[in-house]
Structure 1
Amino acid sequence: MKLATKLAAVVAGTAVMFGAAACGSSSTSGSSDASSADVTLDWSFWSQGEEGNKTWKELAAQVTEKYPNIKVNLTTAPFADYFTKLQSQLAGGTAPCIVSMQSLRLPAFAKAMEPMEGPLAEAAGFKADEWSPGALKALQSSDKQYALPYGLSTMVMYYNKDAFKAAGVDEPKSGWTTDEFIAAGKKVSASMGKPAFGESFSDLHMYSQLLAFNGARPVSDDGALQLNDGKVTDAFGWYSGLATHEKISSVPASSSDVAWGEQQFVAGNTAMAVDGTWNIKSNVTDAAGFKVGVVALPQGTNGGGTFSANSGFGISKTCKNKEAAAKAIGVLTDAASQAASAKAGNQPARLAATDAFIQGLKTDIDPTNPGYSDQVAAVVKASSEKAVPFISTDNWDKVTKLMGQQFQQAYTDKISPEEALKNVQESGAK
């Protein structure tokens, strides 16, 4: 999957209108008993690119191989349109039975989904100890599991090995500090003749660096926006200062340039950018024209690691064949399916699939980017150990738009960081 396609996956969701309607799946007999009736389940997913879509269609076919009476009909839409379309389907009574869900958007959609517990968890073969705890937590709401994950994404720092070498700067290693990050940024910026780091106001990207700096969290545990929190104020002042004071950051040209940092990195215009592990593979094979390194985020004295996010599959509340849907999800997220997804470059949520993930990189990437798989193994371990599932508000789409408008002005010194945070807090708080 191309980088530009995946970048949209970090933009948080819109509020959803919930309508009482029938699920867009059917049973030829009209029965909801998946053990005897022929059932066709609609499954919606955002496009994973040609290769990714092919993989998921093959996995859908494997559902029928295991359960001959269950057929899964996969439909895809561009990520930018997927959740808007899902919102309309829920309102209009045409929602699919199997819903692909992103953790950042779950608060807005949880009321329209069925918790994966009790008989449904049993039908899916769900055993919590087989999964990364962080991957499960990210797809929970009010301590209920609403989707089973197919992957886990933590935020890491990608860097241009060639640019670091040209600047005479040692490559960073996991455990590096924010002071070391700034020192390296200044030397590489001087060598490149332009800022070395690509700044962002994208939620996971920016707030993960704030979390790493001093443990700042933009949303409280109960889902309330808290940009007026002292840690957030201090961390955002530091982050904005990377552009206004330290002069090591390339600033988004406009409030619509959500993916600025990653795009500038891939284009070779910067030497560092924060992005998710969903690009561990495509960042190298599809986009960058240079050798890429990856390292855990630099940590401040009171740093809190990184935020994590992921996606998975759940069941719409109005689905008429919930047991069949749970069985299908069990196949789509079983060990074999996770291994196949891991080989395609997705950091797996199942613990048993980690080796397949690293081996896929060793086979596909190491020949042209030596040692990359070893770096990834180290950084995934380091970032996952202190990963915190990102909690969003249920009006996060509004908040992210405000952030783009206000934070871009703070990065260009048109308003103070404190004023930018205040403006977003006052307009974005419920």
Structure 2
Amino acid sequence: MRRWLSVLLILFLSLVLAACNSDSADDVTEIDFYFPVAVGGDIANLVDELVADFEEENPDIKVNANFGGSYSETMTQVMASVQGGNPPELAVLFSIDLFTLLENDVIEEMTPLFGEDYFDDYYDAFMANSQVGDQVWSIPFQRSTIVLYYNKDKFKEAGLDPEQPPENWDELVEYSKKLTTDDQWGLEIPSTGYQYWMFQALALQTEGNIMSEDGKEVYFDAPHSKEAMEYWLSLSQDHEVMPEGVIEWGTVPSDFLSGKTAMMYHTTGNLTNVKSNAEFDFGVSFLPANEQYGSPTGGGNIYLFKDIPEKNREAAIKFIEFLTKPEQVAKWSIETGYVATRESAYETEELSSYVEEFPSALVARDQLEYADSELATYQNGEVQKIFNDAIQSVLTGQSTVDEAFNDAQSKAEEVLAPFQE
């Protein structure tokens, strides 16, 4: 009899435990978080670490981190999920994807979700690609500017002061000539993937940006645009300090780290990668000026998607709050090289100590004073392709600057015509 009672008791306890586990599983809210990995380093592991820390603090929420590859590949996967009726809760996508996402009416406005003091803590240059008028539609997360990386050892070999990088276009040519040898280029500027972004820096240094703030106009054929492109072309054609034709985005950091080039234009998002792998002393500086300093901002923002259950929405907002705490923003900046997007992050003990030991980490932040928005328009993918193709055709000798940029302006105006008021 006692044996049967024991069996019944065990069975009863098993059923109770199973029920508890079932209830516990039902209480867990799962959210999908799409994320690109666009630069060197170990960012995927860092995201997994942040997710684990969040889940430990919030055992009732499970975050499914989906790594989509490049920004464009991630955008494709996200939009496929949205169109399939299964939108993710959150995604980090290009800040310049804003107009495309608004056009498709798939993201939720962020303005009512956070206090005014919260948004005031973000740098204005990053907020420019995050809002339309007074409406905030995304949160700056992994953001960047373009900076100049230079090999101090190569500077010494060429008789240049390793603590005095080039400050203007003339000095950039002068330094690059001294640094160019039979087996080494003085400078590399990538011309694939984000060539419009590299070009924007030269245009901003000359006069101004290449599009309107409302995303409805472009200025590809403006005099300052053509002047910027002529200078870029001259670096390889006239001054012979840079390879002719196409220079791949992904190989430029490798060339710099291996000593094939002495200077490079690249995203500050590669700073930690360079810091970890350079076997030489290197420096980081503002991009050299023409009439003024200038760089476009870049990188990704966090977007919250529409048409998700309320409990998922609340969990997603909680995850955004976690990711954007000053301490987390500081950690992200240190581990990746991206600019910390909140001013308060630089007041944390961790980041303030880091930049004191490694002042190069402040260059991109300080350059924000001269930064402006990355190219963002309606039908942005199509407009970008038009302009990227124009830049490529010039650099590869297929077209003159006038031919390519006038044609790009006409094609872009056709694409943007439906959005004119």
Question: Normalising TM by the smaller chain, what interval?
Answer: 0.7 to 0.9
Aligned position for 1:13: none
Relative to structure 1, the CA distance from residue 291 to residue 395 in structure 2 (aligned partners, 3 Å threshold; closer, same or farther) is farther
Partner of residue 137 from structure 1, selected from 122, 128, 132: 128
Relative to structure 1, the CA distance from residue 55 to residue 264 in structure 2 (aligned partners, 3 Å threshold; closer, same or farther) is closer
SS of 2:366's equivalent in the other structure is helix
Aligned position for 2:366: 382
Instruction: Flag the structure with larger Rg.
Output: 2
Partner of residue 398 from structure 1, selected from 382, 390, 393: 382
Distance, in Å, in 2 between the alignment partners of 1:134 and 1:244 is 34
Relative to structure 1, the CA distance from residue 203 to residue 261 in structure 2 (aligned partners, 3 Å threshold; closer, same or farther) is farther
Aligned position for 1:208: 201
SS of 2:114's equivalent in the other structure is helix
Aligned position for 2:283: 293
Aligned position for 1:312: 301
Q: Offset at 1:407? A: 2.4
Distance, in Å, in 2 between the alignment partners of 1:133 and 1:326 is 22
SS of 1:71's equivalent in the other structure is strand
Distance, in Å, in 1 between the alignment partners of 2:260 and 2:324 is 38
Relative to structure 1, the CA distance from residue 185 to residue 393 in structure 2 (aligned partners, 3 Å threshold; closer, same or farther) is same
Relative to structure 1, the CA distance from residue 283 to residue 396 in structure 2 (aligned partners, 3 Å threshold; closer, same or farther) is farther
Q: Offset at 1:245? A: 2.0
Structure 1 stretch 324-333 or stretch 262-271: which is displaced more?
A: 262-271
Identity of aligned residues (%): 22
Aligned position for 1:81: 73
Q: Does 1:348 align with 2:333?
A: no
Aligned position for 2:33: 43
- Per-residue CA deviation, residues 297-338 of structure 1 (Å, 9 max, x unaligned), is 01112x252111232322101222323321221111112221
Contact 2:109 2:138 in 1 (8 A): yes
Aligned position for 1:232: 225
Greater share of residues in helix: 2
Partner of residue 275 from structure 2, selected from 247, 262, 284: 284
Relative to structure 1, the CA distance from residue 168 to residue 350 in structure 2 (aligned partners, 3 Å threshold; closer, same or farther) is same
Q: Offset at 1:97? A: 0.6
Relative to structure 1, the CA distance from residue 234 to residue 285 in structure 2 (aligned partners, 3 Å threshold; closer, same or farther) is same
Q: Does 1:337 align with 2:328?
A: yes
Contact 2:272 2:334 in 1 (8 A): no
Q: Does 1:114 align with 2:108?
A: yes
TM-score normalised to the size of structure 1? 0.78
- Per-residue CA deviation, residues 284-303 of structure 1 (Å, 9 max, x unaligned), is 324x44332211001112x2
Aligned position for 1:92: 84
Aligned position for 1:268: 259
Aligned position for 1:366: none
SS of 1:114's equivalent in the other structure is coil
Q: Offset at 1:417? A: 1.3
Alignment root-mean-square deviation, CA: 2.9
TM-score normalised to the size of structure 2? 0.80
SS of 2:308's equivalent in the other structure is coil
Q: Offset at 1:414? A: 4.0
SS of 1:197's equivalent in the other structure is coil
Q: Work out the number of aligned pairs and report it.
A: 378
Relative to structure 1, the CA distance from residue 258 to residue 39 in structure 2 (aligned partners, 3 Å threshold; closer, same or farther) is same
Structure 2 residue identity aligned to 1:198: E
Contact 1:163 1:271 in 2 (8 A): yes
Distance, in Å, in 2 between the alignment partners of 1:74 and 1:54 is 11
Partner of residue 211 from structure 2, selected from 202, 219, 223: 219
Distance, in Å, in 1 between the alignment partners of 2:260 and 2:107 is 43
